[in-house]
Homo-oligomer: A and B are copies of this chain.
Amino acid sequence: MAYSISSLNELIKQFEKLPGIGKKTAQRLAFHILAQPPERAENFAKALVDAREKIHFCSCCQALTDTDLCSVCSDAQRDGSVICVVESPKDVLAFEKTREYNGKYHVLHGALSPLDGIGPEQLKIKELLARLSDNTVKEVIMATNLTVEGEATSSYLSRMVKPLGLKVTRLAYGIPVGGDLEYADEKTLTRALEGRNEI
């Protein structure tokens, strides 16, 4: 019989199911857990179950939260007249890290992609439109990804939002900060040229 430990194999299997974790890494991580004090495994287990149980979508902006309203929606200091529309909850974290944005968010939970069966009904568009109806919102920033799907979603949404008399803006295309022109693709360079600003 070959050497095998069922509970170790199960742990390796669980690690291996994580995105970007291969067989070797999964094994390394499992052995790491075994080499740590038992509290480490218990705390990790608790964090997994807790997060999965407690976290749900904010009833207003659909971002992730473990309270009814997320901390942005419930914060009276944040500017409720601007809504930044993003594809995924991760994008909210990315904007928050800039510490430059003081408006609110709306998470669509995806982007239009007819080939993958994702139409407007699969996204949190209904919820966005409901938020726009109470006249506090003045500007909607389309901050979907700058991909084909993100662009399609952005233009679909702006066709719906503009008739409401709101200002609709889109993230700027251009060269990333610290970017090297040599490695910029033609399309990005063209857009950066078109969007040039006077200095």
Q: Give the interface of A toward B (CB within 8 A).
A: 1-8, 10-11, 13-14, 17-20, 25, 27-34, 36, 38, 40-55, 63-66, 70-72, 75, 77, 88-90, 92-93, 96, 99
Contact = CB atoms under 8 A, between A and B. Distances in A.
Those 10 A-B pairs whose CB atoms lie nearest each other, nearest first: A41-B52, A45-B45, A11-B51, A14-B47, A41-B48, A45-B48, A7-B51, A11-B47, A3-B96, A14-B44
Contact of A31 (B11, B30, B34, B90): B90
Interface of A is mostly: helix
A22 to B, nearest CB: 12
Contact of A51 (B20, B34, B55, B92): B34
A60 B169 CA distance: 69
Contacts of A28: 19-20, 90
A43 B1 CA distance: 27
A162 to B, nearest CB: 28
16 contacts: A2-B71, A3-B63, A5-B71, A8-B64, A11-B50, A11-B51, A18-B32, A19-B28, A20-B28, A27-B90, A27-B93, A34-B64, A34-B89, A41-B48, A41-B51, A44-B48
Given A8-B51, A38-B53, A31 B75 contact: no
Nearest to A50: B7
A19 B77 CA distance: 39
B25 A71 contact: no
Contacts of A88: 31
B66 A8 contact: yes
A54 B30 CA distance: 13
Contact of A33 (B1, B43, B52, B93): B52
Contacts of A36: 52
